Amino acid sequence: MKKSIIVLISAVMVSFSSFADGSSVSASRVENGQIIFYAALHDAFNAADGVSAESPDEIMLLADIVLDNPIIIPDGKHIRLVSNADRIIHRGSSLIEYPMFWVKGNNASLGLGKETMQGGIIVDGAYLNTPSVKAKAPLVSVNGLNSKYVMYDKVILQNNYSENDTDGTLTYRNGAGVSVYTDEGSQETQPEFIMKGGIIRGNFNNAQNHIPFGGGVFMRFFGLFTMEGGIIMNNTAYRIGGGVHADVPSASFKKTGGIIYGEDAPEGYRNIAVTGMRESMYYGHAVSIRVESFDDPSYVLYRDDTVGEDDDISYTFFPDGSGGFGEDGYWDSSRKDIQKREMIMLLSITIPAAVASFFIVRKIRRKKAVAASGFSSREKEIFDMLLSNLSVKEIAYTLKLSYSGVNFHVKNIYRKLGVHNRAELLVKFYKER
C-alpha cells in the first residue's frame, strides 16, 4: 500500500514538471517497480506490454494533449489509460483519416478509465474547437478479432464530426463515437465494446454515402456492444440510429443498464436521426437494429423514445444467420410503419371512392324509380325536391304553385310508388336494392 501511495504521489508531482531537455511529460507507466515518464502518449503505448485484459499495462495520463496520429493497439496487447486529474485528449487537425484510438489487433484490449480512477479523461473530436476539425472516422474503433474496448465512469467521448466521403466499407471508418466492426471472424471471435459508465455525447455522423448510420455507437457484422451503464446523449446520425445502430444480422446489442436518450428527451440530451432511410420510413432516434441485408432493408426494429436505466433490450445474432430479441424489450417496427402507411394510402383511395359510389348508386336508383312510375314532368320535379327534404311549402314557393296543387302531385307520387308518406318514401328509396 505504501509503495502504491509513493508511486501515485511521484506521478502527480512529475506531471507538473518536464524532462531535463525541456520537453513536457505526457504520460507514465510502471515497469519493474519503477515509474517511467514519456513525452508522448504514443511512446507510452508502444512500450506497454500488457498480456491480458484482466491485467493490462496501466498508463497514467499526466497532461492535456493533442493527437496527430492514431494510437493503435496491436495484436495481443492489453492497455488501460487512466488519469489522476481531469485531462483532455484532442483530435489534431491532421488526424482526420483514422480514429483517435484504434483497437486494431487480434486478442487486444483498451480500457479507458477504471472503477477507482481519481481524475477524468475527455476524448474530444475537436469539432467545436477553433478551427474546427472534421474527421472521416470515429473517436474509437474496435476491429480486431476477440478484441475489446472497455469504458468506465469519468470518461467522456465527445464532439466528433465524421463525414466519411471515401470508402465506407473500411472497418475503422464507420460511425462517429465508437465503431465495433469486423468483416471476418465469427460470433466466438467478435470484437466488443463494453460500456460500464461514462458519457458519449455531441458526436455527429454526417456521412451521406455507404453506411451513414450511428451517431453514438455503431456495430456491423460481428460487432458486439454491451451496455452496462453510462449515458449516450445528444448524438446525431444523418440517417438512422442517432444514439446506437446495429447493422446487418451478425451485429449484436445487449443493454442491461445506462440511458440512451430519445426524441422525448429535453433539448441538448436527445439523440437524433436526421433523415431516416428509404423515404424516411423509419428513424431510430435512440436505437435502431437493422436485421436484414441491404437488398431488403425494410425490417428495422427501433426505439425513438428514451431507453431508460431499467430497460433491458437486446438483439443477439445466432450462428445460423438468424437473430433473437430480448423478451423484455419494446420495439417499434419499420414493417408496422410501412403497413400503417399502406393502410392510410388505401383508405385515402377507398373512402372517396365509396362516397362517390354511394351518390352514383343513389342517382341510378332515382332514375329507375322515376322511369318505372310513369311520373309527369311536374311530378319528377317534385319527387327530386321531396328527396332533398324540402317541405311542401318550400316546394310550392320554389315552383310558384299553390300549396294544394303541390299536395295533389305529392299524393300522386306516393300512390305511384306504393308509399303513404315522406318517411316511407325515403326508406323505400334508400333501402331499395
pLDDT tens for each residue of 236-283: 998 889 999 988 768 888 999 999 999 999 999 999 998 876 655 667
Secondary structure letter of residue 135 according to DSSP: B
Share of the chain above pLDDT 70, in %: 75
Question: Which cell numbers hold the place of 386?
Answer: 321531396
User: Looking at the predicted structure, is the pLDDT value of residue 429 above 60?
Assistant: yes
| SS3 category, 334 | helix
User: Looking at the predicted structure, is the pLDDT value of residue 295 above 50?
Assistant: no
pLDDT averaged over the chain?
Answer: 82
> What pLDDT score was predicted for residue 87?
97
Q: How many Å separate Cα 423 from the centre of its chain?
A: 60
Task: Name which residue leads in pLDDT, 417 or 225.
Answer: 225
Please state the three-class secondary structure of 348-387 as a single string.
HHHHHHHHHHHHHHHHHHHHHHHHHHCCCHHHHHHHHHHH
Strand partners of residue 321:
none
What does 264-330 look like in DSSP terms, one character per residue? TSPTTT--EE-S-BTTTTB--SSEEEE-S-TT-TT-EEEE-S-B-TT--EEEEE-TTS-EEE-TT--
Q: Are 93 and 67 in contact (CB under 8 A)?
A: no
User: Looking at the predicted structure, is the pLDDT value of residue 13 above 50?
Assistant: no
Q: What's the alpha-carbon Rg for the chain, to the nearest Å?
A: 36
Task: Name which residue leads in pLDDT, 194 or 292.
Answer: 194
pLDDT in tens, 128-174: 998 999 999 999 999 999 999 999 999 999 999 998 765 556 788 88
Q: Burial level of 319, CB count in 10 A (0-12/13-18/19+)?
A: exposed
- Among 262, 88, 318, 101, CA closest to 193: 101
> What pLDDT score was predicted for residue 1?
41
User: Looking at the predicted structure, is the pLDDT value of residue 320 above 50?
Assistant: yes
| SS3 category, 28 | strand
Task: Name which residue leads in pLDDT, 295 or 206.
Answer: 206
Confidence (pTM): 0.74
User: Looking at the predicted structure, is the pLDDT value of residue 3 above 50?
Assistant: no
| Distances 279 to 236, 275, 283, 341, 349 between C-alpha atoms, Å | 18, 8, 10, 12, 21
| 50-73 average pLDDT score | 94
Residues in Cβ contact with 37 at an 8 Å cutoff, skipping those fewer than 6 apart = 14, 19, 25, 27, 28, 62
Secondary structure letter of residue 116 according to DSSP: T
> What pLDDT score was predicted for residue 124?
97
Distance (Å, rounded) from C-alpha 341 to C-alpha 353? Answer: 19
